[in-house]
Chain A
Amino acid sequence: QKEVEQNSGPLSVPEGAIASLNCTYSDRGSQSFFWYRQYSGKSPELIMSIYSNGDKEDGRFTAQLNKASQYVSLLIRDSQPSDSATYLCAVAQAGTALIFGKGTTLSVSS
């Protein structure tokens, strides 16, 4: 069974802090990695994609990929209350559709 694992949380951080969200996956053949943000009652919204080892930065968001460790993370710098949401990790394995983790709930307190 190919799996994507995330800590369900909630992860609580104060406003202005760095939030670190982690995801591990089981299939070494995985090729593409995505982070989606989902506000309560809303649909998932793509915020980051990463395809090669290392870091990818976009504004306050940094995605990190380590294929040897089968690990992908999302860092949110200067966290804001508006960042409070569930963050879904999704992994694309060769020849198959996206596999989603169950999500980590982030709560940013002001």
Chain B
Amino acid sequence: NAGVTQTPKFQVLKTGQSMTLQCAQDMNHNSMYWYRQDPGMGLRLIYYSASEGTTDKGEVPNGYNVSRLNKREFSLRLESAAPSQTSVYFCASSPQPLEVYEQYFGPGTRLTVT
């Protein structure tokens, strides 16, 4: 039981390049989330998917798109990377959405945009 996995672990992009961060969970959770974590800013929600087939914006969605590919997988895409998107990105999942249920985090992707 791997829990939440993320690929890649590290990535360096040039400004304007695109990439997709992959996330998968094997806990049969319904809800999945993408966060970014910056020094002094804490964890901020980018997008979430309450259930398969639905996605919603979080606090900082600009510059990102997501796809809930199936119940297990939730990807985050940067269409045209900017230096302001340099951050650590965490994927998380929970049995049910939003309140009440605990979220479990993946190991993170460290992204640098030059």
Contacts and interface: CB of A to CB of B under 8 A. Distances in A.
Interface stretch (A10-18, A72-80, A97-105): A97-105
B107 A42 contact: yes
Interface in A61-110: 88, 90, 92-98, 100-103
Interface stretch (B13-21, B35-43, B69-77, B79-87): B35-43
Contacts, number: 51
B42 A97 contact: no
B98 A97 contact: yes
Contact of B108 (A43, A49, A94): A43
Interface residues of A, number: 23
A103 B41 CA distance: 9
Nearest to A4: B42
Nearest to B50: A97
Interface string A24-35: 000000011010
Contacts of A46: 102-104
Interface in B20-52: 33, 40-45, 48
26 contacts: A31-B100, A34-B102, A43-B90, A43-B106, A43-B108, A44-B43, A44-B105, A45-B105, A46-B103, A88-B43, A90-B103, A92-B99, A92-B100, A93-B99, A94-B99, A95-B98, A96-B99, A97-B58, A98-B98, A98-B103, A100-B42, A100-B44, A101-B42, A102-B40, A102-B41, A102-B42
Shortest 10 CB-CB distances between A and B: which pairs? Answer: A92-B99, A102-B42, A100-B43, A43-B105, A44-B105, A100-B42, A46-B102, A97-B45, A31-B99, A43-B108
